[in-house]
Structure 1
Amino acid sequence: MNAPASTDRKNRWWLVVATGIAVFMAQLDGTIVTVALPTIEDGFGIGTSLTQWVVLGFHLPLIALSLPSGRYLDRVGHRAALVLSVSGFTVASVAVGLAPGIEWLIGARVVQGAFGAMLFALAPVLTTIAVRPEVRGRAMAIVMTLGPLGAVSGPVLGGLVIEYLTWPWIFYVNVPVGMAVIGIGWAQLSAGSPLRAPDRAWYAEALLIGGAAIALMLALTFTAEVGVEWILLALVAVPLAVLWRRRPGSAAVRELLSTPGMTGPHLALLAEIAAVIAVQFLVPFHLHAAGVAPARIGMTMLAFPLAVMVSGLIAGVLADRWNARVISVTGVVVVTVGIALTVPLGSDWRTAELMWRLAIVGVGAGLFAGPNQAMVMALSPRHLLGTAGASTSMARQIGIALGPALATTAWALSGYQQSGMRTALALACALAALSVVALVISRRAAGTDAAAGGGEPGEGVRGPMAEDPA
């Protein structure tokens, strides 16, 4: 069934807010645990090599299950999908807090990541159907701004919770948040199609993508820690990716990426996220080596999310009134300039020298995120909205994992010298520049309305939506 005309539906801003809060919660749990790792390590009497899986156990399912989740979401109702993903994430959060041992804790984190993958894929879909096209940029900006804020707020909020309560409470706080999101979603969404069990092909697809992701991440990790020859481990990902592409489950993704103008925003998203995360990863190490106190390091890093918050909300208004692609390109240009300004990285640079540079990068990231996502959803065929949300989520998660890995590798190859840190920042600048090129080149392939981020999703493209958005 085709969606009704946009003039016949009301904007459901409560649904947008609930979606943004859910994304904030899930992104927060990706980073909030980092400050608790030493406490967890001491409490369970384990080594750091095992403790790191508390983080990896969450992030690997986000990559492995992003695309399978998108294909699944195209076949079920939005209300059912929201209730499943949020309730599953919330229950897994409680299981993490109650963990009697490290094996239980890591297993619960894997379950968290699995439901998180569905939630991240669902968020752009809910935002798209919640509002009329003429305000979609603002709606997407709200959700895409809250996500990064959750990620960068994690260590700060986690430290406060651990100081005044205990580490399990960093996960228990998800319970009231999850219940509120489910309540709003239940009231704002129609029943839609019921849930159905994934088929065997779904699990096979997840194993192939997950195996490729693990091979790539282990290759980058061992290259930085052991030696450059370990980069060959990444070759294991090649046959797994080939096998996935030959499976019927990849057809939806191939159809989506063959849509005119679709590849550029995906590549730009991956490259921009990797570049920004690499900078955020390196700056605290530089400041720590320079003798800056942890509190001042935290204050310095806050320049980025604050800039993202302000510019992200402005970007949504500009995208609705002007052109989403132009705002996206402007954003990645600003990101590139901001990172280029950090490349010299003098050994005497402290808070004052880095804070304004991080703010410039944050302004660019805020201008890019919402409009770029709105553009992708406008370009997407209607029957592939779930796949579009999943593919952008996967690009984002790969970028989040790739940024620190590439930065560490470049830094390690120099013997962890200042010159290696500058090389890593130059690599991040090149990635940001690549995102500019990707968006500019893809412009010719996209239609005028879709490129501007306006109109109904997949306008002019045949195919029913998974659920009537009215």
Structure 2
Amino acid sequence: MRRWFPLTAVCLGTFMLLVDVTVVTVALPDMVRDLDASFGAVQWVVDAYALALAALVLGAGAVADRVGHRVTYLAGVVVFALSSLACGLAPGAQGLVAARAAQGLGAAAMFATTFALLDGAYAGRDRGAAYGVWGAVSGASAAVGPVLGGLLTEGVSWHWIFFVNLPVSAVALGLGARTLPAGRPAVGGRVDVGGVVVFAVAAGCATYALIRAAEAGWSDAVVWAAAGAAAVLLAGFAVVEWRVRQPMFDLALLRDRAFVAVLLAGLLLTFAAFAPLAYSMIWLQSVLGLGPVGAGLTGLPMSVVAFVVSAVSGRALHGRRPGLVIGGGLLCVGVGSAVTAVLVRGAAGWPALVPGGAVIGVGVGLATPALGAVAMSLVPAARGGMAAGAVNTCRQLGFAFGIAALGSVFAAGARGVLQARGVADAAGVAHAVAGGRVSGLLGAVPPEGRELLAGATRAAAVGGVRASFAVAAGVGIGAGLLVLGLLRAGAGGRVPGAGAGGDLPGDGGGGNKPGDAGVGSSRDRRTPVSP
């Protein structure tokens, strides 16, 4: 039993950091009221954490390769716990957003080291089982977030969605310090500070452009200025990484088609599977009147299905082609989102979310454990932190971009419905609906017009949710087809984890050929490490 203690320590950290991505979604209406927050501030409470996690996890992986994976993980737990305390005590929206960003820093240090720690602790079939369990926890955590957030928000207050992290962090810290493999720093040298800073600012500019567009529209000059700055900074990041002696991210990894496919899958999986949840929660609470617990429980089918599928797939899918596993999972996410977009209509209530959510859970459960296992098999052991950081960066950027982009989609869908009904100031009302401020909006209307406006806001929210899930469906299906093409038969080996040596994704037509000295070459590939 003690052999699974390292897995338990890693899974506790993963559970906390991923739950905190979505745990605030059901608490947003309460936060809006308590903190007097605007629509943009509501998005930043979610995105400050997701963006900091996405922007810093790649740099954290590079640091971990230099100072040690266990040290980095434990430091991340400490930072996460302290910033969670600051979140719970935050007196206003600005303080909460700043504390959420600090949370993202701690989460990045934990997330960047998970794959390397599992690879160092387990081998053979145990490694496959460990990835399966970790994938189950990872896939279910984001869906459990709304349930846990609802229970705490309704039972105590939204502040406790952050305070609850403190005892869990204490257990993870104690267990990790005693049982995680100490290992040694994989590489030496300096940390690529320039790369970390440039990438973080670029990601921030891109997310700000999407959030600003949801409020001011795509014709706004500031939106295009921020988007342009993001593009320039990303180009600058590529130049920095090309010139620096020990880069945060080795651009040679992008020559491997299988690795590129894994990065795209991570980015688009979280966009399609989890970003629409934030807007469905606003619909359920501020329009349909569900409490935080009731709204959170609507995600339970997705959570349970994702957990079960991930736990089973770790061993059962060993030897399957990664294109079929990851691409098939993305297709399931797309189909599930399409089912939800079809069922949410008219006077539909929360049951309309259940069938599609279960299908999405199947997709999340299939794709999540395979992403980590395949990514780690494509790089040498010395670059495990870099590979894990790259994959998890894409996963969190997908969520951050998804929240921002679907904010525009939701508002546009709601505005279209309101305009069709002849509602004055359709854009303003649509933003109030998207920001969860329907009750305040109705309270400001004379009683004789309140019922008419209430019907219009209900229809507008349905239109926004349908539009959000329709876009998610397109993203999921398109991503699945893309990954199937990039990891088509003959180009992607087998899903690793339970075997030794040879069951690793190959290059096919996209990566380096055997004998090349590049990162993706056969000489660099990982082999199982005995615990």
**Same fold by TM-score, threshold 0.5 exceeded?**
yes
| 1:316 paired residue among 301, 314, 327 | 314
Distance change in 2, residues 1:40/1:363 (3 Å): closer
Matched, 1:219 2:216: no
- After superposition, residues 265-304 of structure 1 pair within 5 angstroms as 265-285=262-282, 287=284, 291=288, 293-294=290-291, 296-304=294-302
Distance change in 2, residues 1:268/1:40 (3 Å): closer
Matched, 1:242 2:235: yes
User: Is the contact between residue 145 and residue 308 of structure 1 (CA under 8 Å) also seen in structure 2?
Assistant: yes
Shift in Å, 1:329: 2.7
Q: Measure the CA separation in 1 of the matches of 2:281 and 2:31.
A: 23
Q: Measure the CA separation in 1 of the matches of 2:324 and 2:126.
A: 17
Shift in Å, 1:200: 7.0
Distance change in 2, residues 1:198/1:208 (3 Å): farther
Q: Measure the CA separation in 1 of the matches of 2:78 and 2:257.
A: 36
Shift in Å, 1:41: 6.5
CA deviation map 1:381-426 (0-9, x unaligned):
2221101110111111111112232222223234153556544433
Q: Show the counterpart of 1:71.
A: 62
Shift in Å, 1:359: 0.7
Shift in Å, 1:21: 1.1
Q: Which amino acid aligns with 1:437?
A: L
Shift in Å, 1:427: 2.2
| 2:476 paired residue among 423, 432, 440 | 432
RMSD between aligned residues: 3.5
Q: Which moved more, 1:348-357 or 1:389-398?
A: 348-357
| 2:253 paired residue among 247, 253, 256 | 256
Q: Which amino acid aligns with 1:426?
A: A
User: Is the contact between residue 268 and residue 434 of structure 1 (CA under 8 Å) also seen in structure 2?
Assistant: no
Q: Which moved more, 1:95-104 or 1:398-407?
A: 95-104
Q: Show the counterpart of 1:4.
A: none
Q: Measure the CA separation in 1 of the matches of 2:46 and 2:368.
A: 24
Q: Measure the CA separation in 2 of the matches of 1:52 and 1:278.
A: 11
User: Is the contact between residue 78 and residue 126 of structure 1 (CA under 8 Å) also seen in structure 2?
Assistant: yes
Scaled by the length of structure 2, the TM-score of the pair is 0.76
Shift in Å, 1:256: 2.6
| 1:18 paired residue among 2, 9, 14 | 9
Q: Measure the CA separation in 1 of the matches of 2:186 and 2:159.
A: 31
Distance change in 2, residues 1:437/1:100 (3 Å): closer
Distance change in 2, residues 1:125/1:163 (3 Å): same
Q: Measure the CA separation in 1 of the matches of 2:200 and 2:152.
A: 33
Q: Show the counterpart of 1:395.
A: 394
Q: Measure the CA separation in 2 of the matches of 1:46 and 1:351.
A: 26
Q: Measure the CA separation in 2 of the matches of 1:194 and 1:452.
A: 23
Shift in Å, 1:109: 2.8
Q: Which amino acid aligns with 2:198?
A: L
Q: Measure the CA separation in 2 of the matches of 1:362 and 1:170.
A: 23
CA deviation map 1:366-394 (0-9, x unaligned):
11111222111112222211011101111
CA deviation map 1:226-259 (0-9, x unaligned):
1121442312101101111111264633133323
CA deviation map 1:2-53 (0-9, x unaligned):
xxxxxxxx99422112111111111223333455566666666776755654
Q: Measure the CA separation in 1 of the matches of 2:37 and 2:247.
A: 40
- After superposition, residues 362-381 of structure 1 pair within 5 angstroms as 362-381=361-380
Matched, 1:57 2:54: no
3-state SS in 2 of match to 1:160? helix
User: Is the contact between residue 72 and residue 198 of structure 1 (CA under 8 Å) also seen in structure 2?
Assistant: no
Q: Measure the CA separation in 2 of the matches of 1:421 and 1:168.
A: 27
Q: Measure the CA separation in 2 of the matches of 1:44 and 1:337.
A: 37
Q: Measure the CA separation in 1 of the matches of 2:218 and 2:268.
A: 22
CA deviation map 1:258-281 (0-9, x unaligned):
234110111022112111124423
| 2:120 paired residue among 101, 113, 129 | 129
Q: Which amino acid aligns with 1:356?
A: P
3-state SS in 2 of match to 1:305? helix
Tell me which structure has the larger Cα radius of gyration: 2
3-state SS in 1 of match to 2:346? coil
Shift in Å, 1:300: 2.5
Q: Show the counterpart of 1:3.
A: none
Matched, 1:336 2:363: no
Q: Measure the CA separation in 2 of the matches of 1:25 and 1:384.
A: 25
User: Is the contact between residue 214 and residue 411 of structure 2 (CA under 8 Å) also seen in structure 1?
Assistant: yes
Distance change in 2, residues 1:172/1:370 (3 Å): same
Distance change in 2, residues 1:83/1:428 (3 Å): same
Q: Which amino acid aligns with 1:332?
A: L
Q: Measure the CA separation in 2 of the matches of 1:420 and 1:158.
A: 23
Q: Measure the CA separation in 2 of the matches of 1:464 and 1:447.
A: 15
Q: Which moved more, 1:215-224 or 1:170-179?
A: 170-179
- After superposition, residues 177-188 of structure 1 pair within 5 angstroms as 177-188=168-179
CA deviation map 1:112-168 (0-9, x unaligned):
211111111111222222221434343223223223433333343234335555554
3-state SS in 1 of match to 2:318? helix
The number of residues matched between the two structures is 459
Q: Measure the CA separation in 2 of the matches of 1:49 and 1:352.
A: 29
Distance change in 2, residues 1:218/1:17 (3 Å): same
Matched, 1:27 2:26: no
Q: Which moved more, 1:416-425 or 1:223-232?
A: 416-425
Q: Measure the CA separation in 2 of the matches of 1:372 and 1:286.
A: 32
Distance change in 2, residues 1:158/1:461 (3 Å): same
User: Is the contact between residue 113 and residue 388 of structure 2 (CA under 8 Å) also seen in structure 1?
Assistant: yes
3-state SS in 2 of match to 1:347? coil
3-state SS in 2 of match to 1:192? coil
User: Is the contact between residue 324 and residue 374 of structure 1 (CA under 8 Å) also seen in structure 2?
Assistant: no
Distance change in 2, residues 1:191/1:368 (3 Å): closer
Q: Show the counterpart of 1:86.
A: 77
User: Is the contact between residue 330 and residue 364 of structure 2 (CA under 8 Å) also seen in structure 1?
Assistant: yes
Distance change in 2, residues 1:342/1:56 (3 Å): closer
Matched, 1:410 2:454: no
Q: Which amino acid aligns with 1:300?
A: T
Q: Show the counterpart of 2:199.
A: 209
User: Is the contact between residue 336 and residue 360 of structure 2 (CA under 8 Å) also seen in structure 1?
Assistant: yes
Q: Which amino acid aligns with 1:18?
A: A
User: Is the contact between residue 219 and residue 234 of structure 1 (CA under 8 Å) also seen in structure 2?
Assistant: yes
CA deviation map 1:90-127 (0-9, x unaligned):
22223434556666554433222111111111112222
